[in-house]
Chain A
Amino acid sequence: MLLFSQHQLTILAVIGNIFNVCLLLLIPILFALSVYKTSKQIPDKYKYFPDWFAWMMIIPLLNYIFAWIMLPFGVPGAIKRCFPDNNYIKPFHTSLRRWGLILVLIPIVTIIIMIITMLVTVLLVGHNPATPSIHLWLAIAFGTIGGLLFLLSLFSFIMYWAKVATVRPILVMANAMQDKQQ
């Protein structure tokens, strides 16, 4: 029971994949927009870093440095300095710092695990081709760890994005209340 011919399916797959890749490139832009909009709600005197650092997270390779600056330290630090005593905002900046740190630490952990894999492979089984089962078990073990790390990074990315989007209207309201107090 074939719905389409092989030719049709090939063209479909090509067009679909090109489109999907274009859409996936949108995700960093939307994330940077979200972080930028939240960072803009905080008055300038409380910030360590300017808002436009958020947009630097779009650039490949350079984005990791700016992610280290903005995600765990820039945004939560500014929120903490702006509202040190607000009990409603306190859980947000702690959780933003936690998820941001997890998000930026995962690439380093992945690289360390890759180096360990290479060292183990070269030192332990590199000169002994007669034991293929060790290769298999090593591949399964490190593959599982890599998969779990990927899931964790996806989850922490979603959590960070959700927290950033949730805290924005709360910051607007808290700012308005602070202005009234003064």
Chain B
Amino acid sequence: MSDQINDSRRSFLSKAAIAGSITIAPGVFLHQTAQAKPDDQAVSSKTRWGMLIDTDKCAKGCTGCVDACNNEHSLTGHGRPETDTQYIRKVSLVEKQTGHEISLPLMCQHCENPPCVDVCPTGASFKREDGIVLVDKHICIGCRYCMMACPYKARSFIHEVIENQTLSAPRGKGTVESCTMCTHRVDKDGIPACVEACTEDDHNAMIFGDLNDPNSEISKELKKHGGKQIRADLQLNTGVRYQGL
């Protein structure tokens, strides 16, 4: 008898659970898809991803962003700094006239008109619709012309066999690579690892966001306080801007 009651209770509960799931699920899924881009959906030019870096907040000697990037992309060095890959690096500046010191992170500036894309013979260097500049590792022939052309020295050539790669950032000997603005995170509604690390360290020197959205934090901050491009004379309209420079 009690077994029969338990059976019918179980049956009722399982049906109720299914009915409940069907009722609630679309809302849950809709909420998720509204934020993250499905893998089969192309990126859109409605968005232009960018970064704003406040050099006054960038702590001298801190390499939080660099460490996070290296960790995210498994950029382990081989003890050969001249050939080891660096997506992002800390640059120290001392003004010759005044001695004023500035510290800033430098990486691919994700130009609107990228010289690396212009010069690449095969089109392996390309710019996504959302402004992120990448290398298609499948058709890069390793000619390094993009490295000659980049005004920011932002690219590295893979000088040796790569081991222990991460699935999200495949790399290969004999091709060129650079900052991907963590597309694997950004496409899933995340932020680049460097920005996350800077925020977690409570420096808040880096803001990531959509330059095309006037209501985004980055756009508001740029409108209020402005931001400079490195080598603005080249008119490349970089996606990475700096304050305090």
Do A and B form a real pair?
Answer: no
* Chain B positions near chain A (C-beta within 8 angstroms): none
